[in-house]
Amino acid sequence: MYPEGLKYTEQHEWARISGNRAVVGITDYAQKELGDVVFVELPAVGTTVSRHDSMAVVESVKAVSDVYAPVSGTVVEVNRALEENPELINQDPYGDGWLVVVEMADPAEAGELMDAEEYQQLVEEEGE
């Protein structure tokens, strides 16, 4: 149900790790919970983020939600397409709806994130 090869957080972010970079977004579960996304506030390129700290804000018709950094590091790229089309998060959360790319300060942090199976269990427990 959740893509293999990604890492997940308890706050429903995902990270696609490649070398010392992590592409970060919110999970399909998170976007469904939020409903229609109408606005995204992303950090500036060059911003230093710390694991577990808020790094972005996603606003939907139902709620405003912080997006937390799954790893520490420096934002090296942001998804500018979301400025005009925030609904990409709803349409393709693991593809065109990605949020930022973080150059990891400590790639070992990625090893502490959940895999798809562990994340699936978390979602099932929350749904009970």
Could you tell me the CATH number of the domain that includes residue 93? Answer: 2.40.50.100
In Å, how far are 57, 102, 110 from 41, measured between CA atoms?
5, 16, 24
Residue 75's pLDDT band, with cuts at 50, 70 and 90, is very high
What does the block give as tokens for 65? 């939600």
Residue pLDDT, tens place only, 19-68? 999 999 999 999 999 999 999 999 999 999 999 999 999 999 999 999 99
Q: Give domain status of residue 97, yes or no.
A: yes
Domain range for 94: 7-109
124 occurs within a structural domain? no
Closest CA to 51 of 77, 81, 22, 78: 22
What is the distance, to the nearest Å, from the Cα of residue 32 to the centroid of all Cα atoms in its chain? 14
The number of domains in the chain is 1
**Within a domain: residue 66?**
yes
Residues belonging to the chain: 128
- Domain membership of residue 119 (yes or no) is no
Within-domain flag for 117 = no
pLDDT in tens, 92-101: 999 999 999 9
In a domain, 120, yes or no: no
| 60-88 mean pLDDT | 97
Q: What is the pLDDT of residue 128?
A: 75
The answer to whether residue 1 sits within a structural domain is no
> Whole-model pTM above 0.85?
yes
